[in-house]
Amino acid sequence: MRQHFFKHETAVIDEGAIIGDGSSIWHFSHLMKGCIIGKNCTIGQNVFIASTVVLGNNVKVQNNVSLYDGVVCEDDVFLGPSCVCTNVINPRSAVSRKNEFRPTTIKKGATIGANATLICGITVHAFAFVAAGAVVTKDVPAYALMMGNPAKQNGWMSEHGEKLIFNQEGIAVCPSTQQTYRLTNNRVEKTTG
């Protein structure tokens, strides 16, 4: 049967891993049995993906990222170099807590910056942007820009990855795409007109 994805010769893909058409798995990465990788994903160098991880289509996982059991990334998610998704809130070497894994969900189009850490049990909502080095300890609203340790919201981002500046009427325009957004009751929505 013809393989419809690229696998570097040093990558290890366990039998039973599901990989979508057009995806690429690069140097020294390991995908465990049962993980699901969507179409057109890029798995960078030295990436580990555990057996219950699910990646949607067009997900980019940069170098040195480990995705442990319980992580789900929807379509178009970007995971920056060396970012971390934990799955146990209080790990101890001598205490088995495999029955205490907490899921982490990263919704469509969200970005997790280089060296950022997501504490398990949270959801990063659609098109949110977690800055490099941030430590996220709670759910992130859609389109929110999160920075610092612990991460705090520092504005809003467009779907194109541009910071949004809202006027007094609560309207912002993405400088790259001219798409408009509305801020109402501390929620951002893309306008249709």
pLDDT, residue 2, reads 61
Q: What percent of the chain has pLDDT over 70?
A: 98
98's tokens = 């495999």
Q: What is the dihedral of CA 44, 4, 76, 28, to 10 degrees?
A: -10
pLDDT, residue 192, reads 81
Q: What's the rounded Cα separation, in Å, for the pair 25 and 163?
A: 32
Residue-range domains of the chain with CATH: 6-159 (2.160.10.10)
Sign of CA dihedral 98, 102, 108, 113: negative
pLDDT, residue 3, reads 76
Q: Mean pLDDT over residues 26-46, rounded?
A: 98
Per-residue pLDDT tens over the stretch 54-102: 999 999 999 999 999 999 999 999 999 999 999 999 999 999 998 999 9
pTM attached to this predicted model:
0.96
Q: What's the rounded Cα separation, in Å, for the pair 124 and 126?
A: 7
How far out from the chain centre does Cα 183 lie? 24
Burial per residue of 63-73, b for 16 or more beta-carbon CB atoms within 10 angstroms, e otherwise: bbbbbbbbbbb
CB 69 within 8 A of CB 52: yes
Residue 178: C-alpha distances to residues 12, 31, 118, 159, 167 (Å): 43, 39, 31, 11, 15
Q: What is the DSSP string of 73-124?
A: E-TT-EE-TT-EE---SS-BTTB--GGG---EEE-TT-EE-TT-EE-SS-EE
Q: What's the rounded Cα separation, in Å, for the pair 135 and 149?
A: 5
Residue type, 43: I
